[in-house]
A and B are shown apart, each in its own frame.
Chain A
Amino acid sequence: MAEEDDMESIRADTIVKTFGSVRALDGITVTVDPGELFFLLGASGCGKTTLLRCIAGLETPDSGTVSFGERDVTRMPPHKREAAMVFQSYALWPHLTVGQNIAFGLEERKVSKAEIKQRVAEALEMVQLPGFGERSIDQMSGGQQQRVSLARALVVKPKCLLLDEPLSNLDAQLRVEMRGEIRRIVKENGLTAVYVTHDQEEALAMADRMAVLTRGTIGQVDTPENVYRNPLSAYVAKFIGETNIVPGEIVEVRSGFAMLKTDAGPLVGRVTDPEWNPQPGEQARLSIRPEAWRLHKSSGDNEVVGRIAERAYLGQRIQYWIETAAGRQQVVEMNPHIIHEPGEEQIVLHARHDDVVVLKP
Chain B
Amino acid sequence: MKRGPAILITILVCAFFAVFFVYPAGMVVKQAFEGPDGFTLEFFRAVFENPIYREGIANSFLLGISATLLATCIAFPLALIGHRYDFPGKPALGVMVLAPMILPPFVGAVGVKQILGVNGALNAALAKLGMMDAAHPFDWLAEGRMAGIVLMIGLNLYPILYMNIAAALSNLDPAMEQAAENLGCPPWKRFFRITLPLAMPGVFAGASIVFIWAFTELGVPLVFDFSRTASVQIFDGLKGLDKNPIPYALTAILLIVAATVFSLSKFVIGRSPLGTAPRPKGRANAKRLRGMKGLLCSFAFLGVFLLASIPHVGVLFLSTAERWYGTVVPDEFTMRHYTEALGNGLVVPSIQNSLMYAGCATLLALLVGLGVAWVVVRSDLKVRGILDAVVMLPLAVPGLVMAFGYLALSQEGKPFHFLVGAGGSPFLLLVLAYGTRRLPYIVRSAVAGLQQSNPALEEAARSLGATPVRTLRRVALPLIGANLAAGSILAFAFAMLEVSDSLILAQQEQHYPITKAIYTLLSTLGNGTELAAALGVWSMVFLSTAIMGAAILGGKRGGLFKV
Contact = CB atoms under 8 A, between A and B. Distances in A.
Interface of A: 56-58, 60, 77-85, 87-89, 91-95, 104-105, 108-109, 149, 152-153, 156, 162
B128 interface: no
A93 to B, nearest CB: 6
Interface in B374-401: none
A85 B459 contact: yes
A58 B463 contact: yes
B456 A156 contact: no
B467 interface: yes
Given A91-B454, A104-B466, A156-B464, 18 more contacts: A57-B462, A58-B459, A77-B468, A78-B463, A79-B463, A79-B466, A79-B471, A80-B465, A81-B463, A84-B463, A87-B459, A88-B456, A92-B457, A93-B478, A94-B479, A104-B464, A108-B465, A149-B460
A104 B2 CA distance: 22
A91 B457 CA distance: 5
Name the residue among A60, A81, A104, A162 with the largest chain B CB count within 10 angstroms. Answer: A104
Contact of A95 (B456, B460, B467, B478): B478
B456 A91 contact: yes
Contacts of B463: 56-58, 78-79, 81, 83-85, 153, 162
A89 B456 contact: yes
Interface in B1-25: 2
A94 B474 CA distance: 12
Contacts of B461: 93, 104
A69 B424 CA distance: 64
B462 A58 contact: yes
Name the residue among B464, B467, B468, B471 with the largest chain A CB count within 10 angstroms. Answer: B464
Contact of B474 (A56, A85, A91, A104): A104
A315 B456 CA distance: 42
Contacts of A85: 459-460, 463
B383 to A, nearest CB: 15
B287 interface: no
Contact of B465 (A56, A79, A89): A79
Interface secondary structure of B, over-half rule: helix
Contacts of B474: 104
Interface string B35-59: 0000000000000000000000000
Contacts of B456: 87-89, 91
A354 to B, nearest CB: 45
Name the residue among A58, A81, A84 with the largest chain B CB count within 10 angstroms. Answer: A58
A84 B464 contact: yes
Name the residue among B459, B471, B478 with the largest chain A CB count within 10 angstroms. Answer: B459
B2 A82 contact: no
Contacts of A88: 456
Contacts of A93: 457, 460-461, 475, 478-479
B385 to A, nearest CB: 14
A87 B460 contact: yes
A82 B464 CA distance: 7
A83 B2 CA distance: 18
Give the 8 A-B residue pairs with the shortest CB-CB distance, closest first: A105-B464, A91-B456, A91-B460, A85-B463, A78-B462, A108-B465, A87-B456, A95-B478
B336 interface: no
Given A58-B462, A104-B464, A108-B464, A77 B479 contact: no
Interface string B428-466: 000000000000000000000000001011011111111
Contacts of B454: 89, 91
Nearest to B460: A91
A360 to B, nearest CB: 38
Contacts of B288: none
B473 to A, nearest CB: 11
Contacts of A77: 2, 462, 467-468
B189 interface: no
A162 B462 CA distance: 13
B290 interface: no
Contact of B459 (A78, A92, A153): A78
Interface in B465-520: 465-468, 470-471, 474-475, 478-479
Size category of the B interface is: 20 to 34
Interface string B269-304: 000000000000000000000000000000000000
B7 to A, nearest CB: 14
A196 B468 CA distance: 25
A75 to B, nearest CB: 10
Contacts of A149: 460
B462 A79 contact: yes
A79 B466 CA distance: 5
A109 B2 CA distance: 22
Given A60-B2, A94-B479, A109 B465 contact: yes
B459 A105 contact: no
24 contacts: A58-B459, A58-B463, A77-B2, A77-B462, A77-B468, A78-B462, A78-B463, A79-B466, A81-B463, A82-B465, A84-B463, A85-B463, A87-B456, A87-B459, A89-B454, A89-B456, A91-B456, A91-B460, A93-B461, A93-B475, A95-B479, A104-B466, A105-B464, A108-B464
A92 B459 CA distance: 11
Nearest to B477: A95
B93 to A, nearest CB: 33
Contacts of B466: 79, 104-105, 108
Nearest to B457: A91
Contacts of A105: 464-466
A56 B463 CA distance: 7
B5 to A, nearest CB: 11
Nearest to B465: A108
A108 B469 CA distance: 12
Contacts of A82: 465
B459 A91 contact: yes
A78 B471 CA distance: 12
Nearest to A164: B456
Contacts of B464: 79, 84, 104-105, 108, 152-153, 156
Contacts of B470: 79, 108
Contacts of A56: 459, 463
A59 to B, nearest CB: 10
A7 to B, nearest CB: 19
A79 B475 CA distance: 14
A106 to B, nearest CB: 9
A310 to B, nearest CB: 37
A292 to B, nearest CB: 42
Contacts of A104: 461, 464, 466, 474
Name the residue among B456, B460, B475, B479 with the largest chain A CB count within 10 angstroms. Answer: B460
A186 to B, nearest CB: 16
